[in-house]
Amino acid sequence: MSQILTVAMPKGRIFDEAVQLLRKAGYQLPGEFQDSRKLIFDIPEEGFRFILAKPMDVSTYVEHGVADVGIAGKDVLLEEERDVYEVLDLKISPCHLAVAGLPDGVIKDVAPKVATKYPNVASKYFREQGEQVEIIRLNGSIELAPLIGLAERIVDIVSTGRTLAENGLVELEHIANITSRFIVNPVSYRLKDREIDEMVERLKSVVGE
C-alpha cells in the first residue's frame, strides 16, 4: 500500500505552473484545488496531502519534515540554504536574480547600501566581487528603495523587467538564473523512497530530464 506524500507548494506565481506540470505528469488534481483558500488540501485518491505556503517557507517545511517533498524557487534555496535534497529542475517560472538601480544613480565609494529580500545571496555576491556593501533587508516593494534614497542599488528577482522599467530602474548586473526545483526531505527519501522516486520519474517525463 502506497504511503501518503505531503507536498509543500508555494502560493503565488509558481503555483499555477506547478499544478499544470503535475497534471501533465498524469496526476488527477480537482479543479477547485487552484481556487480553494484552504492551506491544507487532501487528495487521497492520488496519495497526496498538499500544504500551501509562502514561497520562502516551502524549504523550511521540507527541511523539518512536515512536508516530504516540495516545489521551491532556486532563489529561495540559494537564500535559505536548507538541509534538503534538490533532485530535479522543473524548468518552470524562469527568471533571474539581478542587481538594479537608477541609470544615473551615484554609488558611494564606501559601503553603498543595497536593499533586498535576499540578504544572504546579496552579501555573498558582493563579497565575491570584492565589494563591501551595507545590506538593508526589505520584504516587499524593493524597487522603492532607490527612488526614496534608502539604497543605491537593489538585488531582486527579474522576470520580464517591466517592473524595473515602470519605476525608472535598470538592470546593472546578472547574478543567477532561477527556475523552480523539486526538493525532498532526506529522512522522507529513505522512508518513502518508492513513492518519491515514482513522482520524480513522472515529473522527469514532462520536463525533459
DSSP 49-112: EEEEE-GGGHHHHHHTTSSSEEEEEHHHHHHH--S-EEEEE---S-EEEEEEE-TTPPPPSSS-
pLDDT in tens, 95-146: 999 999 999 876 766 789 999 999 999 999 999 999 999 999 999 899 999 9
The CATH architecture assigned to 5-93+179-207 reads: 3-Layer(aba) Sandwich (3.40)
The strand pair at 134-137 and 113-116 is best described as parallel
Q: Same CATH fold, 95-176 and 5-93+179-207?
A: yes
Task: Look at residue 126 in the predicted model and tell me its pLDDT.
Answer: 95
Look at 7-16, 112-121, 189-198 and tell me which has the smallest mean pLDDT: 7-16
What is the distance between the alpha carbons of residues 38 and 43, in angstroms, rounded to a whole number? Answer: 13
Given a cut of 90, whether residue 19 has pLDDT beyond it is yes
* 8-state DSSP, 41: E
Given a cut of 70, whether residue 24 has pLDDT beyond it is yes
In what side-by-side order are the strands of the sheet with 40-43?
40-43, 48-53, 5-10, 69-73, 180-184, 85-89
What is the distance between the alpha carbons of residues 52 and 168, in angstroms, rounded to a whole number? Answer: 34
pLDDT bin (cut points 50, 70, 90) of residue 176 is: very high
Which pTM does this prediction carry? 0.90
Q: Tell me which residue has cell 512536515.
A: 66
pLDDT in tens, 46-95: 999 999 999 999 999 999 999 999 999 999 999 999 999 999 999 999 99
Residue 112 near residue 133 (C-beta atoms within 8 A): yes
State what percent of residues in the chain have pLDDT above 70: 96
Given a cut of 80, whether residue 190 has pLDDT beyond it is yes
The CATH architecture assigned to 95-176 reads: 3-Layer(aba) Sandwich (3.40)
What is the distance between the alpha carbons of residues 112 and 132, in angstroms, rounded to a whole number? Answer: 8
Compute the Cα dihedral for 77, 116, 158, 25 and give only its sign: positive
Compute the Cα dihedral for 201, 39, 61, 34 and give only its sign: positive
Task: Look at residue 30 in the predicted model and tell me its pLDDT.
Answer: 83
Closest CA to 116 of 89, 92, 144, 86: 144
What is the distance between the alpha carbons of residues 108 and 138, in angstroms, rounded to a whole number? Answer: 20
For the chain, domain boundaries? 5-93+179-207, 95-176
The strand pair at 40-43 and 85-89 is best described as unpaired
